Amino acid sequence: DVKVTQSSRYLVKRTGEKVFLECVQDMDHENMFWYRQDPGLGLRLIYFSYDVKMKEKGDIPEGYSVSREKKERFSLILESASTNQTSMYLCASSSLGGPSGNTIYFGEGSWLTVV
């Protein structure tokens, strides 16, 4: 069973703080993604990564950065949190091929509130 684990389910941070959201997958997937989920806006892609140390900007990368030092781990970083970054953050992973190729698996999400 594919497992995508987001270490923090609920966080409350102050404006200006640096925030780290961690994600680990256990299926040796090449691709990893960070999405943001907001009511009425659906899921919007922040960053994604095809391989270790590789990253690509998604649709809304401003205010975020990412790190992928190991294949199984993909971190989302908010350098200086702002109230408009209050949201649900979803990590996901997928393989390039095989029986489940292209199926994207999601973590449970991290609720971030910035006050």
Judged by the rule CB under 8 A, the positions of this chain that interact with other proteins are 4, 31, 33, 35, 40-45, 48, 50, 56, 58, 90, 92, 94, 96, 102-109
**Would you say 9 or 53 has its CB closer to other proteins?**
9
Kindly state the smallest distance separating residue 79's Cβ from other proteins, in Å.
Answer: 23
Q: What is the CA radius of gyration of the chain?
A: 13
Q: Which CB atom, from 56 or from 79, has the smaller least distance to other proteins?
A: 56
Kindly write down the DSSP assignment for every residue of 61-81, as one continuous string: -TTEEEEEEETTEEEEEESS-
Q: What is the smallest separation between the CB atom of 53 and other proteins, expressed in angstroms? A: 18
Specify whether the backbone of 102 is left (phi greater than 0), alpha (psi in -120 to 50) or beta: left
Query: What's the rounded Cα separation, in Å, for the pair 108 and 88?
Result: 10
Q: Between 86 and 105, whose beta carbon lies closer to other proteins?
A: 105
How many whole angstroms separate alpha carbon 115 and alpha carbon 109? Answer: 19
Q: What is the smallest separation between the CB atom of 41 and other proteins, expressed in angstroms?
A: 6
CB of 64 to other proteins, least distance (A): 16
Rounded to whole angstroms, how far apart are CA atoms 81 and 72?
25
Q: Which is nearer to other proteins, 55 or 81 (CB)?
A: 55
